[in-house]
Structure 1
Amino acid sequence: MARVTDIFVADAGSEPMRSVDHVEAVAGGLRGDRYCEGRGHYTPFDVCEVTLIAREDLERIDEELGPSLAAGEHRRNLVTEGVDLHDLLDHRFRVGEATLRGTRPRPPCAHVEELAEAEGVARALGDGRGGICAEVLDPGDITVGAEVVDLGSTDRTDDIVARLRSED
């Protein structure tokens, strides 16, 4: 079963991430998180409403890098296990009571490395290990342990082509 193993939020840009047991996904992000509140480091230039990263990738990073990023130094909101996050891009998926849509990969940045105070963090989060961004489609609570369920692609191309063929 794919699930959420950790949840992190930060009150404002550059503030330490703090671990929480639950969070409310609302239009614009996660209630109480810096980007939802308009206080993120990159607001308004590069905002991801919700960021996700795979526990499996964090474990590989820990092996390569030495210092652990498990306490939120990765600067991502939801840590998952049992799901390839890239499979959720352009898909709707449920996390707990909320429905999200994977919008794009989340590349690492120098700011993450600066805040982690560990050389190589940005490089370690590269190669597709930086997670993904998602937008909130339907609000709801997300708790540690919540199941992650892929609800299918948001790409309607196949549906449109099938409909056009049936009209011929």
Structure 2
Amino acid sequence: MAYVERVFVAPEDSAPMEELDSVDAVEGGLSGDRYQTGRGYYSPYDVCEVTLIEAEAVDEIRDEFGIDLTDGRHRRNVVTRGVEVHDLLHTTFRVGDAFLRGTRPRPPCAHVEQVAGEEGVARALKNKRGGICADVVQPGTIRAGDDLEIVEADPRTMGRKIAERLGL
């Protein structure tokens, strides 16, 4: 079962991530988060409304690199468990009462390492460990412990499956 393990926001660029029990997904992102309010490091040029990372990736980073990012220093908003977040790209999914759409991978940058204050964080978050970006499709509340489910599959993937089934 896929679910939300933890939820984080930061009120402004470089501020520590704050863990919350719940947060409202609103137009433009998560209520009070730096990118929703336009105070993110990359605002307004490279904005992710909501970022997701797998708890399993955070666990791997701790085990492989000895870096513990469970405090939110990964700079991602929603920590999931039981789903590969890259499988959410180009899908619409429900998380809590909110509906999100996966838009693109979120690779790490030098800024994440600078804010984390620990060498090797950007390298540890490379590849699929960096998570993804998502847009808010329908506002709602996201809580730690909420289920996550795909409600509309990636249309390209579904199209390929239909074509294969038809022998095209």
- Length-normalised TM-score, structure 1: 0.92
- State how far apart, in whole Å, the 2-side matches of 1:27 and 1:66 are: 37
Q: CA deviation at 1:132?
A: 0.4
**Distance in 2 of aligned mates of 1:77 and 1:154:** 22
Q: CA RMSD in A?
A: 1.7
Among the aligned pairs, what percent are the same residue?
57
Which residue pairs with 1:109 in the alignment? 109
Q: Secondary structure at the match of 1:128?
A: helix
Q: Which amino acid aligns with 1:47?
A: V
Aligned to 1:166: none
Deviation at 1:154, TM superposition (A): 4.3
Distance 1:154 1:12 in 2: 33
**Between 58-67 and 133-142, the greater mean CA deviation after superposition:** 58-67
Find the aligned partners of 1:14 and 1:117 in 2 and give their Cα distance: 11
| Partner-residue secondary structure (3-state), 1:39 | coil
Q: Which residue of 2 aligns with 1:165?
A: none
Aligned length: 162
Q: Distance in 1 between matches of 2:107 and 2:127?
A: 9
Q: Which whole-Å CA distance do the structure 2 matches of 1:35 and 1:117 have between them?
A: 21
Q: Distance in 2 between matches of 1:127 and 1:136?
A: 24
Deviation at 1:152, TM superposition (A): 2.4
Q: State the alpha-carbon separation in 1 of the partners of residues 150 and 27 from structure 2.
A: 20
Give 1:83's aligned residue.
83
CA distance in 2 between counterparts of 1:91 and 1:38 reads 25
Taking the aligned partners of 2:154 and 2:60, their CA distance within structure 1 comes to: 30
Pairwise CA distance, 1:67: 2.6
Structure 1 stretches of at least 4 aligned residues deviating more than 6 Å after TM superposition = none
Counterpart secondary structure, 1:107 = coil
Listed one character per residue, the Cα deviations across residues 74-131 of structure 1 (whole Å, up to 9, x for unaligned) are: 0000000000111100000000000000000100000000111111100100021000
Distance apart, 1:23 and its partner CA: 0.2
In 2: Cα distance, 1:158 partner to 1:64 partner: 38
> Could you list the runs of 5+ residues in structure 2 that have no partner in the other structure?
164-168
Distance across 2 between alignment mates of 1:72 and 1:58: 10
